[in-house]
């Protein structure tokens, strides 16, 4: 996995129990900068605001290429009980880095003062997907972290970076009253800063080789259902710095690509063992597609995902020879080995650096802030672009098939949803080019569900259902099947069925083609339920939509962020219910049809002889809904919800 750099994102993802530091009450020397921040007026904030950051200050002093001192001051006032997490302090310390000092203070609502000293901090390691990482952190818990209290935290770390670049989140989930960033450079050095286009801040030179950026009253992140990942909403800053004689190193996407290309030089060189394995896998295969599928399948099935990140290993892939011999590696390692094997087979490919949180990569901020590495595989001239779904064309005119060798369950030619329609850095011999990954059409990701049922005169229902899944629907299901045992699978299916039915009994469940990722995943099952039709005297109400719910709860209030739909998709349900001879149809729901651009929904209920026939189709065309179209989203959900609850009225036959 690609290593993230900033402590605040690490804090947001952290799931650990913090140890309490020792506090001293009475005689505490709270610094003047803390008291000054507390004395500032707060302003007006939303009632749900958990805390207010009174001061967020980070000062960087560059001492040599890749070396700098980071000094941080942070003051926050807790407003609500769920803001107590502000008392959990953390400072990250990586390879070849040294903590100069760390200390903290708190002032409760009764003006009692407490202090946390460096000896109260405990060193820990991050609990992540990595088998091993040399990044560690020091943590402590501040006393009196309660509503009305003020928490102040100061630390200084001597940092070591593998690039001449500083990446910083200058915004917080909570509102920020005052934010300050500064950089002090050696004589003759220069810098280039990159800000989001919507919130640029100009530097102020306060002394020779010393620059500062100031911002006030930065809004916090407001919680909303189905909102984008927090990391893509927070404002970020990148500062590239360079000594005399250099011209903006790391200050452009091309420069970032140059850096990574140099870092990976020689790593994809094939050994005799790799060459022999490629020859074995592609033996008898003369066309591009068959070679590609054979090599991709080997990476997906035979090379385990194991991340070991030490020092520069957080960025630099291991040599292909080591990955092939050990049969494991992380995302950049798997991309490296596949690229090496493709090269032996006569196919060119390039690294593609991306983030799994869509829209985290900001085109206005050239940086090394990615968390994933995949491949862009060059298509030969004789291969048509529409042969595969996930194809993009670079500025050079070359066409690339985007593929993630780490993804065990998405076949080559497709791309899982979280990597679609997102900025990514294509690394080539001529440097880096920021591209937009493809948005796949709805028909790549489908669920087709067909059910045939028999309704009894007492309201009981029995029948069988078959489901055909492709795309992400198949990928997610295959992953769940792989990582669960039979009991967990049965429990999951029972819970899913229980969202639509009550008092049911599952008679059989069969899953086919689970281990064949190039084919659709097939599921079939039979069940009975005694409580489906609801009798009301001579009438019986029967919901024609037997299974599956596609609607979402909608909060009807102003929307600030996009609604994340997660994927494009094409879903269809077709249900047939045999009506008991004791009843006849008295009324059926009207047909439904709505198209709001980013999605459409339609359904109809018909009667053919003694059978009720229900059909519906839900098509999602975009990955997210912008706030200005939220009313359309709410309208769509209202239509879906009403249709899913609609009932056919049966009347007892005379």
How many CA atoms, within 13 angstroms, populate the side-chain half-sphere of residue 421? 13
634-648 per-position pLDDT tens digit: 999 999 999 999 999
Is the C-alpha dihedral spanning 563, 569, 570, 574 positive or negative? negative
H or E element at residue 157: strand 150-160
Closest CA to 372 of 423, 328, 413, 412: 423
- pTM value? 0.90
Spatial separation of the C-alpha atoms in residues 140 and 283, rounded to whole Å: 59
Query: Which range (158-167, 406-415, 590-599, 609-618) has the least confidence?
Result: 158-167
Cα 206 to chain centroid, rounded: 39
Angle value at C-alpha 149, between 146 and 153, nearest 5 degrees: 105
Q: Enter the tokens of residue 583.
A: 């009843």
Closest CA to 476 of 567, 359, 546: 567
Inter-residue contact 317 to 261 (CB < 8 Å): no
Mean pLDDT over 467-474 rounds to 97
Q: pLDDT value at position 278?
A: 98
Q: Enter the tokens of residue 313.
A: 């290993």
Q: pLDDT value at position 127?
A: 58
242-273 per-position pLDDT tens digit: 888 776 567 899 999 999 999 999 999 999 99
Helix %, strand %, coil % for the chain, to 5? 20, 35, 40
Inter-residue contact 139 to 89 (CB < 8 Å): yes
Q: pLDDT value at position 14?
A: 33
Q: Enter the tokens of residue 653.
A: 């036959």
335-356 per-position pLDDT tens digit: 999 999 999 999 999 999 999 9
Mean pLDDT over 209-229 rounds to 93
Query: Which range (7-21, 175-189, 280-294, 447-461) has the least confidence?
Result: 7-21
DSSP 439-499: ---GGGSEEEEEEEEEE-TTS-EEEEEEEEE-HHHHHHHHHHHHTS-HHHHHHHHHHHHHT
Spatial separation of the C-alpha atoms in residues 50 and 221, rounded to whole Å: 11
Phi, psi of 542 (to 5 degrees): -130, 120
Greater pLDDT, 382 or 17? 382
431-455 per-position pLDDT tens digit: 899 999 999 999 999 999 999 999 9
Q: Enter the tokens of residue 521.
A: 């995943």
Q: Enter the tokens of residue 428.
A: 């080539």
Judge whether residue 475 has pLDDT over 80. yes
Cα 348 to chain centroid, rounded: 29
Inter-residue contact 536 to 199 (CB < 8 Å): no
Bridging pattern class, strands 521-529 and 504-512: antiparallel
Greater pLDDT, 519 or 13? 519
Q: pLDDT value at position 131?
A: 64
Phi, psi of 573 (to 5 degrees): -125, 135
Closest CA to 365 of 134, 169, 77, 500: 169
**Residues contacting 272, CB < 8 A, separation 6+:** none
Spatial separation of the C-alpha atoms in residues 412 and 419, rounded to whole Å: 14
Q: pLDDT value at position 6?
A: 39
Inter-residue contact 600 to 475 (CB < 8 Å): no
Mean pLDDT over 184-192 rounds to 94
Per-residue confidence band for 296, with pLDDT thresholds at 50, 70 and 90: very high
Closest CA to 170 of 135, 136, 219: 219
In the block, which residue shows the tokens 């009438």? 539
- Residue 642's alpha-carbon distances to 143, 275, 448, 449, 502, in angstroms, are 51, 60, 21, 20, 20
What is the percentage of the chain residues whose pLDDT exceeds 70?
94
Judge whether residue 178 has pLDDT over 60. yes
- Residue 9's alpha-carbon distances to 156, 196, 230, 453, in angstroms, are 18, 18, 9, 50
Q: pLDDT value at position 44?
A: 87
Kindly compute the dihedral angle of the four CA atoms of residues 179, 185, 191, 194, in this order, to the nearest 10 degrees: -20
Spatial separation of the C-alpha atoms in residues 336 and 274, rounded to whole Å: 12
Inter-residue contact 431 to 261 (CB < 8 Å): yes
Bridging pattern class, strands 399-403 and 391-393: antiparallel
H or E element at residue 616: strand 611-620
At residue 642, the 3 state secondary structure works out as helix
Angle value at C-alpha 521, between 520 and 525, nearest 5 degrees: 135
CA-derived radius of gyration, the chain: 29
Inter-residue contact 150 to 89 (CB < 8 Å): no
554-611 per-position pLDDT tens digit: 988 899 999 999 999 999 999 999 999 999 999 999 999 999 999 999 999 999 999 9
Q: pLDDT value at position 9?
A: 38
Judge whether residue 5 has pLDDT over 60. no
Spatial separation of the C-alpha atoms in residues 548 and 612, rounded to whole Å: 17
H or E element at residue 60: strand 51-64
Query: Which range (61-65, 173-177, 240-244, 337-341) has the least confidence?
Result: 240-244
Q: For residue 180, list its beta bridge partners.
A: 57, 214
**Residue 436, Cβ neighbours under 10 Å: how many?**
12
Identify the structural domains of the chain with CATH numbers, from first to last.
7-248 (2.60.40.3140), 256-440 (3.10.620.30), 443-652 (2.60.120.1130)
Judge whether residue 410 has pLDDT over 90. yes
Judge whether residue 218 has pLDDT over 70. yes
Most distant CA atoms of the chain, gap in Å: 99
Q: pLDDT value at position 281?
A: 98
Q: For residue 238, list its beta bridge partners.
A: 167, 194
Spatial separation of the C-alpha atoms in residues 279 and 270, rounded to whole Å: 12
Query: Which range (189-203, 317-331, 477-491) has the least confidence?
Result: 189-203
Q: For residue 154, list its beta bridge partners.
A: 73, 103
Judge whether residue 114 has pLDDT over 50. yes
Cα-Cα end-to-end distance for the chain? 70
Judge whether residue 19 has pLDDT over 60. no
Q: pLDDT value at position 249?
A: 63
Is the C-alpha dihedral spanning 589, 593, 596, 599 positive or negative? positive
């Amino acid at each position: 996995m690609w290593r993230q750099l900033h402590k605040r994102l690490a804090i947001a993802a952290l799931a650990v129990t913090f140890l309490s530091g020792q506090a001293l009450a009475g005689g505490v020397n709270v610094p003047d900068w803390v008291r000054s921040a507390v004395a500032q007026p707060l302003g007006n904030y939303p009632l749900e605001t958990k805390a207010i950051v009174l001061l967020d200050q980070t000062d960087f002093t560059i001492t040599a290429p890749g070396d700098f001192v980071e000094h941080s001051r942070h003051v926050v006032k807790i407003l609500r009980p769920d803001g107590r997490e502000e008392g959990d302090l953390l400072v990250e310390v990586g390879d070849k880095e040294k903590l100069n000092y760390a200390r903290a203070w708190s002032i409760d609502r009764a003006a009692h003062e407490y202090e946390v000293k460096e000896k109260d901090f405990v060193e820990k390691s991050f609990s992540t997907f990595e088998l091993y990482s040399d990044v560690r952190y020091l943590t402590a818990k501040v006393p009196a972290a309660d509503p009305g209290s003020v928490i102040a935290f100061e630390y200084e770390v001597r940092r070591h970076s593998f690039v001449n670049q500083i990446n910083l989140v200058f915004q917080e989930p909570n509102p920020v009253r005052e934010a300050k960033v500064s950089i002090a450079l050696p004589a003759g050095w220069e810098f280039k800063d990159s800000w989001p286009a919507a919130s640029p801040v100009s530097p102020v030179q306060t002394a020779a080789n010393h620059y500062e950026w100031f911002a006030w009253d930065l809004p916090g992140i407001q919680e909303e259902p189905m909102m984008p990942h927090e990391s893509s909403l927070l404002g970020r800053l990148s500062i590239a710095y360079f000594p005399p004689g250099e011209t903006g190193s790391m200050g452009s996407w091309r420069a970032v690509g140059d850096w990574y290309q140099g870092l990976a030089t020689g790593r994809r060189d094939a050994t005799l063992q790799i060459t022999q394995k490629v020859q074995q896998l592609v033996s008898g295969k003369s066309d591009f597609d068959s070679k590609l599928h054979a090599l991709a399948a080997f990476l997906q099935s035979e090379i385990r995902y194991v991340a070991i990140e030490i020092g520069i290993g957080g960025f630099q892939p291991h040599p292909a020879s080591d990955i092939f011999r050990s049969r494991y590696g992380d995302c950049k390692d798997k991309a490296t080995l596949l690229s090496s094997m493709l090269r032996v087979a006569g196919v060119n490919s390039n690294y593609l650096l991306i983030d799994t949180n869509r829209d985290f990569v900001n085109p206005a901020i050239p940086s090394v802030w990615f968390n994933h590495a995949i491949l862009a595989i060059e298509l030969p001239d004789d291969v048509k672009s529409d042969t595969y779904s996930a194809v993009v064309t670079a500025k050079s005119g070359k066409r690339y098939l985007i593929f993630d060798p780490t993804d065990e369950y998405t076949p080559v030619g497709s791309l899982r949803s979280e990597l679609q329609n997102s900025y990514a850095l294509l690394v080539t011999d001529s440097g880096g080019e920021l591209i937009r990954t493809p948005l796949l059409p709805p028909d790549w990701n489908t669920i087709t569900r067909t059910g045939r049922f028999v309704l009894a005169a007492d309201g009981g229902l029995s029948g069988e259902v078959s489901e055909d899944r492709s795309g992400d629907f198949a990928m997610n299901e295959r992953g769940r099947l792989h990582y669960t045992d039979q009991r967990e699978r049965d429990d999951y299916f029972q819970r899913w069925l229980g969202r639509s039915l009550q008092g049911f009994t599952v008679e059989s469940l069969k899953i086919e083609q689970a281990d064949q990722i190039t084919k659709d995943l097939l599921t079939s099952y039979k069940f009975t339920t005694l409580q489906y039709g609801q009798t009301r005297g001579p009438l019986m109400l029967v919901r024609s939509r037997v299974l599956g719910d596609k609607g979402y709860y909608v909060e009807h209030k102003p929307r600030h962020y996009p609604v994340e739909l997660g994927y494009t998709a094409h879903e269809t349900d077709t249900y047939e219910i045999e009506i008991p001879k004791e009843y006849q149809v008295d009324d059926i729901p009207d047909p439904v049809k709505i198209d709001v651009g980013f999605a459409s929904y339609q359904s109809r209920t018909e009667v053919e002889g003694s059978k009720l026939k229900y059909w519906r189709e839900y098509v999602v065309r975009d990955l997210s809904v912008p706030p200005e179209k939220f009313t359309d989203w709410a309208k769509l959900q209202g239509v879906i919800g009403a249709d899913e609850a609609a009932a056919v009225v049966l009347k007892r036959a005379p």
